[in-house]
Amino acid sequence: MVINTYFLGDFHFVFKDISRVCAHSIKPIFFQDLINRIDSYSQYHTGEQIKSIVNNEGAIIPAQNCSAVLSTEKESKQQRGVVFLKLEDNNFFPIGVWPNKFADDVIANPRVLLEYIEKIVQQPEKFDDVRYLIPVKLGEISDEPPKQVLWSVTLEGKIPETEDDWVLEFVDLKQFRKLKQLTTRYFQDLMKTIELNAHYKIIRPIEQEIIKEEPVTFWLPIYKEGVTSLLPQNDGSFVDCHELTADIIVLSHFFADLGKNAETYNHYQLADGILEFKSQTNSILSHEQFAFVVSTKKDNSNYGLLFLKKNGKYSLQGMWPKSFFQAYQKNDRILFELLDSLIKVPSSFKSVKFYVPS
């Protein structure tokens, strides 16, 4: 089964079904204890993040009947998760666990799951991060199963007898925002291992002429005739941020929710005054390719977001002003809090202007 979580973008976790293995239901007191830990420990969090749950046959489990727990342990850095289905007697039944290694352990010995659940509430000092996820409530959201992103690597040479290319497919992990970076020392140790062991091989890229293109650094809005500016400051260029934010995707329902706020609040306005965005390398984002949100909070701080539309989804392409981008580099939470408050806390803004192509 796949649990689609939503927190100002989409993140997908594949949970292995254990409903035929686990014979124990969990009483509501477990979740009350979990909430108590959230009040007492900074590494415990909760949020409306479950968007949908889909099994491998395409059947959809109503998200409003489910909750989930994701955790990272302090010493081992082991990440584990459990999805719970609420029963008619108000107890909760574990239906899926993540990742596969944890699932295999639970299938071999169901007691492992109960010990994990007990540990979460009884030994909070053992965890770096614990997240209690509940269903999202941000308007109507499509429950389509997620599309898995793959990277294909073609190797030199042909497969014997078939003469087909050697192609390896790798699952894109950028959707998991807490990936650990590998240090240079790791690869140095790996090279030493390759030198000492004949069955270790190294695959290097074929040398090719590399043509370096000047990277895009900013996007400047080009206004329609008669429109002066939609931004409250003179410097209206958006810092290009796509290398840092390529995995931050919002769906069209985000802009639909902004539209609902515009129907209720006068300071939310649809602003169709920008003809295109142009980079310093003369790349163009046409009127049909971009969406944007420009806002001013009551403390007079400004926040602008430029999105690139592709296949019905919107990836974050630019941020304005530069001080906002610099703050995001230090703490990415500032972006998530902004997007969340744009929908949920309209009263915190003096002005919100947005545009989304039809």
**What is the residue-level pLDDT of the chain in tens, covering all 358 positions?**
444 443 333 456 778 888 777 777 888 899 889 988 988 888 898 877 777 777 666 667 777 788 899 999 999 889 999 999 888 888 888 988 888 889 889 888 988 999 999 999 999 999 999 998 888 764 434 444 445 566 766 766 665 555 566 667 676 665 544 445 566 777 778 888 888 888 887 777 766 555 455 566 899 998 888 887 777 665 678 999 988 887 788 888 889 999 999 999 999 999 988 999 999 888 899 989 999 999 999 999 999 999 999 888 899 999 999 899 999 988 888 998 999 999 999 999 999 999 998 7
Map residue 131 onto helix, strand or coil: strand
Reading the block at residue 44, the tokens are 């415990």
For the four alpha carbons of 173, 179, 185 and 190, in that order, the dihedral sign comes to negative
The 10 Å Cβ neighbour count of residue 110 is 16
Specify which residues 354 forms β-bridges with: 270, 293
Cα–Cα separations (whole angstroms), residue 202 to 140, 220, 277: 49, 44, 44
Contact residues for 82 (Cβ-Cβ < 8 A; gap 6+): 68, 69, 94, 96, 97, 98, 113, 116, 117
Cβ burial, residue 120 (10 Å; 0-12/13-18/19+): buried
DSSP secondary-structure letter at 207? Answer: P
Q: 0.95 cut: is pTM over it?
A: no
What pLDDT was estimated at residue 344?
92
The 10 Å Cβ neighbour count of residue 330 is 8
- Cβ atoms 30, 22 nearer than 8 A: no
What pLDDT was estimated at residue 332?
84
